[in-house]
Structure 1
C-alpha cells in the first residue's frame, strides 16, 4: 500500500479497509487476481448489459461486487493537456479519486485505480515490468488478428473518426498492458478519465471548443454493446449539467471509436470500456482551485448517478439531491448577501464579465446566476431544494440562451 501526496489508491484484495491520507479518510477496496482470460473474440460479446445487471442485483446475496477499474489518463509525471498551471494528468487523478469514493460508498463495487498524482499503483508498475514480453505478444496477436479480419472483409476499417493524438510507443504499450491486466482480473468495467484540448491555440489563451464527450468501442468490438448502454446513461446525467462538446464528431455526445487503445483497439479488452473527456482543460470552471473542486466533484457525482441509472437502482449515496451543488443553494437560500458573497468567493472576476461564448461552460457561474433567477420550492419535503425536473429545464434554458 502506498500514499502519493494526499492521493491514495490501492489494488483490490477481496477485503475492505479504511486508511488515512493526509487529513482525510479514504475508504478503498481491493481486487485479487483471477485465472487469466483470453482477449475478446470477434463476433462474440465478451460482456453484456444483462450479465452486468444480474451481477449487480445479486451483490447482497453473493457478495460478489462489480469490478471497476478507473484509469486517470496519461502518465503520472508527463503527458496530457496543459493550460497555464493546470495539468490534465492531475485533474484526471483528482476526479478518479472522487469517483472511487462514491463507488465504494455505494457498496456494489470493488474499485481499482491505475495511478495517483505522483506515481503508478505499484501493482501496475510491477505488472508492466514482469509481464513486458507477455504484453508485447498480446499486442502482436491482437493486431495480427485485426489485420487478418480486415483483409478478409470480415471486419471493416473505420475511416472517418474523431482526431486523436498518437500515443508514444512505451505509453501505448502500457495502455495495452492495462487492457491485459483488466482481462486477467476479470474486470467488469473500465473508465478512462480525461480532459480535452483544442488545437491550435496559444499556450496562454483558451481554445475554440468546450464541452464533454464519451468514447465507446466501435460496434464490431466484443465489448461494444454493453459499453454503449452504460455510456448513454452516464451521458444523460452529464448532459443535464454540462454542455456537450462543440467539436464536430464529438458533438454526438457518445462517439464510437475503433482506434483508441483505451476502449479496446484491436478488440483487446473484454470489459465494458469507455473514455470520458470531461471538458476542455481551459474551461472557466477549471481555472481556479475553489471552483475546480466543485466542478470535479459534480462531474464524478453525475458519472456515479449514470451508473446507478444503468443498473436500475436508486443511488445509495445521492439522497434526495440530483446534484452536489443543490446543497449550496439550500445553504444560501435565506440570504441574498450570501449569494452575492458566493459569487465573489468562487467566481473569478474575468468569468463574471466574460462573453456568453466564454461563460458557456462555466458550471458554477451558471448555477449561481440560475439560482438567483429562479425561486426555491419551499413546500418541498427537502426544504429549499429545487424540483429536479424544473432545475434541469431551467439550466438547459440558460445554456441555450448563452
Structure 2
C-alpha cells in the first residue's frame, strides 16, 4: 500500500489540462479560464456622478447660495457645455460630470425652482464623484487564467467588454461499472443482485464540478467485454468501479491488460477505499475505484475531484478542508488514513462540531448521504478527546 498523499500526487502528475475553446459570455459560468481577461475599456470611462443631484463647483456650493441651472446630464446624454461660475447642471447617477464641475450637490440638499437651485448644505470638494478608471483601466488584467468563473466574474468580464471567453474544454469522463451482480436503477435485478448506484453518483459529481460524464453500459465479469467497453474511447479520463480488489471476479486489471494497460499503482493506505487502481490505457488515464458505494464516493472526493480540477486547468487542485471540534472521543488510528462520515452542528463561537456516525461500514450509502463531512484521521493518529480539533472535508461545499 502506498500513502494517500503519494497516490494523489502521482495521479495529478499523470494528468494535463484540456485544451482551450471559445464560448459565449453567457455560457462561461463555472468554466475555468484558459487565458487571462484584460479590460478592453476604462470603467468608468469618465468622471461620473455617484448620486442624483446637481453638478457644480465647490467654490459656489456654500449653504444659502443660489445657482443658475444651465442644463442636465442624465446617464447616456452628457451635458455638452462647460460649467461656469455660479452655474449648476442637473445630474443623475452615472451621468458624466460636466467640464468645469468638481462636486455633486445631493438633490435632497437642494431646492430647485424657476431655473435656479438653492444650496441647502455646503458641499465638500470632490464629493459624490466617481473618478475615471475608479473600477479598472483599459489593459488591466481583470481575471487570471486557471480561475473558475463565478457569477461575479461573469459580470466583471461583461463590464470589461468581453462577449466571448477562452476556457478549458470540459473534461470528458467515462464511467464504467463492472460486475455480474449489478443492474441499473429500474432494471430487473439478477438473482442475488443489487442496484448499481456508483455510476450515477459519480456522474452527478463530475457534472457538479464542471465535467461531462458518460455512463457506459454495465460490464459483466468478462474480461473481453470489460476491455471492449473501456476502449470505447474519446475520454480524458476513464473511471471504473468494482473489480479492483483481489478476488476471482476482480477483473479490471486483467481485462485492461489485454489492450496494453500500464499500472502505476494499486492499493492505498486509506479507509474506506484501499483497492484503488491508477494507470493508463494507451493515452487514456484510468482511475479504478472500489465497488462498495461509500468507498467509491470517498475515493472520488479524495482523488477524482483533484483530477477534475487538474483537467480543467484550475490553479488550485487541493481539496478544501476546515477545522472543527470532535463531537465524541476518537480512538487511536491504525496504519490507514481514515475518513469518518460525520455530521456537523454549530458550536459556541461559530465553531463546527463534527460527530462521526456510530457505524462506518463502507456499504452504508444512507449514512454517507446523511453525513455533512468526512473527519480526517492520519495514519497512526493518537486517540483524540471530545472537543479537540479535527480536520474535516465539508461535503456540500464540494457538490458531493
Q: TM range, normalised to the smaller chain?
A: 0.3 to 0.5
Question: Larger relative CO (CA 8 A, sep 6+): 1 or 2?
Answer: 1
TM-score, length basis structure 1: 0.35
In terms of Rg, which structure is larger? 2
